[in-house]
Amino acid sequence: MTDRGHADHPRPARTFLFLQGLASPFFRRLGGALLERGFNVTRINLNLGDELFWRLGGAVAYRGRLSAWPDFLSNFIEERGVTDLVLFGDGRPYHRAAIETARLRGLDVHVFEEGYFRPNWITLETGGVNGFSRLPRDPQAIRQLAAELAETDLGHEHIRGDMRLRTLWDVTYNVANVALPYFYPFYRRHRPQHPLIEYAGWLGRFIKGKAEKRRAAEVEAQLATGEGRYFLLPLQLDSDYQIRLHSPFSAMTEVVDFVARSFAMNARPTDRLVVKLHPLDNGLVNRRRLTGITARKTGLGERLLYLDGGHGPSLLDGAAGVVVVNSTIGTLAVSRGRPTIALGQAIYDMPGLTHQGTLESFWREPTPPDPDFAQDFRRVVTAQTQLNGGFYSKQAIDIAVSLAIKRLEVRPPLPARLVATGWSRPERHYGGERVVAPGE
């Protein structure tokens, strides 16, 4: 690749190709900022919603089939002289193919994602995020990097979200695609459910909202009595590519059943397990009913609690341990000193942060994180991959764009020790069953 240059030298010729982002003006704002700085910017729209949220020049429409996408993209990169690929999320089918094509051609791949630490942060990594991240998995490498960053200022602004604006943008994006599909007849959605079905699920959650809030308050009050320990199982989304690509599970129902069986066989008789619904769950799966079925099948009864709502930090602070697949809740739990075990690929799953034994041993003697190492880990991850800001309010986008430009404009090469040679961990046995993450 050409030299990146500095502010006082002529910039090298670079062309940024944007693929799909979120239902947010963030990519349009970022592309416009790159244009203002003299870089070439282009875009491939895959559906009508993409068009609505881009509205900059240099865009083309891809209306072909997914099977023909790699060849189209390869030719496009060649014709436009693309040097950098920018996208949100590395698990979408179009993006997986694009990343492989970009690697073969020596492009720099810039992947945006929700923050590893939330709120107030978003993620920008080279090559991939989460299970595809280049962050080191070696505790000693983390400590060495943290020592080098000891004087780095990692301060940030508090980000104010705008749920109404986020909802408006999401509806605009999806309604455009649903109402006018013939503009992109072969487009393949990356989410498993049709948008209108998802909205129907959200309507159901809204209708039940007050009742669920009362139930959540009752459960929190019960847990606050301090009678016996409780373990927290915060759910992820079935549509989350961290579940679909970087875990041995295909759905959260499997996770609940698996964890509950192990808990029933190995936890203390006075311990309780709390299943907490993800706040962005669309409600299409009746998880309260299914959790109740699991409670009966495992004999846990009232020891298996279900929670739709509640104050997340307080629940974490009171928990004897936290079980995640690979949720970013794990980073929050570790930073708050709570014993945590990860069942899938997670950037924080390493000695000194998470419990490295079996799930059976976790119920008996959960290993707490090393607080000094947890601080080192957060410092390294924040400095290397996090940007203050967000995607869903003017203030959040303003901050994120200004910082993303600095990262994209003059991006120093990654230290050699940051390039992962492959993710692996010792084989674990949970509840008599072998659970191995993809790639082992």
Q: Does 10 reside within a domain?
A: no
219 shares its domain with 129: no
Residue 170 lies in a domain: no
The string over 234-270, giving b where at least 16 C-beta atoms fall within 10 Å of a residue's C-beta and e elsewhere, is bbbbbbbbbbbbbbbbeebbebbbbbbbbbbebbeee
Q: What is the pLDDT of residue 433?
A: 41
- 109 with 41, same domain: the answer is yes
CA angle 407, 412, 413 (to 5 degrees): 125
Q: Are 294 and 393 contained in the same domain?
A: no
Interatomic CA distance for residues 286 and 122, integer angstroms? 30
197 — pLDDT class (breaks 50, 70, 90): confident
Q: Is it the case that residue 415 has pLDDT exceeding 60?
A: no
The answer on 397 and 310 residing in a single domain is: no
Question: If you average pLDDT over residues 270-295, what whole number do you get?
Answer: 95
Q: Which two tokens stand for residue 143?
A: 């400590």
Same domain, 138 and 232: no
Q: Examine the pLDDT at 377 and tell me if it is beyond 90.
A: yes
* pLDDT range class, residue 255, cuts 50, 70, 90: very high
Same domain as 135, residue 22:
yes
- Domain membership of residue 19 as a residue range: 15-161+389-409
Same domain (yes/no): 245, 369: yes
**Of the listed ranges 249-253, 337-341, 391-395, 435-439, the one predicted with least confidence:** 435-439
* 422 belongs to a structural domain: no
Q: What is the CATH number of the domain that holds 90?
A: 3.40.50
Task: Answer whether residue 180 is part of any domain.
Answer: no
In this structure, the answer to whether residues 231 and 298 fall within a common structural domain is yes
Nearest to 169 by CA among 392, 390, 437: 392
Distance CA(168)–CA(151), nearest Å, equals 41
- Tokens for 357? 């034994």
pLDDT-derived band at 420 (thresholds 50, 70, 90) equals very low
Domain count of the fold of the chain: 2
**Which of 376, 400, 423 is the endpoint of a domain?**
376
pLDDT attached to residue 411: 58
What tokens appear for 153 in the block? Answer: 């200022």
Cβ-contact 307, 275 below 8 angstroms:
yes
Inside any domain, residue 419:
no
Does residue 203 sit in the same domain as residue 350? yes
In the 8-state DSSP scheme, what is residue 47? Answer: S
Specify whether 363 is located in the same domain as 253: yes
> What pLDDT is recorded for position 414?
46
Model pLDDT, residue 417? 30
* 182 occurs within a structural domain: no
Mean residue pLDDT across the chain: 88
Mean pLDDT of 175-184: 93
Same domain for 198 and 230, yes or no, is yes
Q: How many CA atoms lie within 13 Å of 162's alpha carbon, on the beta-carbon side?
A: 16
Q: Is the pLDDT of residue 363 over 70?
A: yes
Pair 108, 216 in one domain:
no
Three-state SS sequence of 138-162:
CHHHHHHHHHHCCCCCCCCCCCCCC
pLDDT of residue 94 exceeding 70, the answer is yes
